[in-house]
Amino acid sequence: MMTIATQWESSAGGSFIIRQVNDPEVTRGTKITLHIKEDQTEYLEER
């Protein structure tokens, strides 16, 4: 199964990188599951 994740990386220099990772070998990190009511899907839109 393909794991799709968002990776946040920082080296404490005041900047950071965010990228999408599609890697079946990703086995660490935090999984967040959102349960959104049908009338609240506006919160899923990227701004």
Domains of the chain, residue spans? 4-44
CB 23 within 8 A of CB 7: no
pTM of the predicted structure, to 2 decimals:
0.42
Question: What span, in angstroms and rounded, lies between the C-alpha atoms of 37 and 47?
Answer: 19
The alpha carbon of residue 44 and the mean position of all alpha carbons in its chain are separated, in whole angstroms, by 13
pLDDT of the chain, 47 residues: tens digit per residue = 556 778 888 888 889 999 888 877 777 777 778 789 999 989 888 87
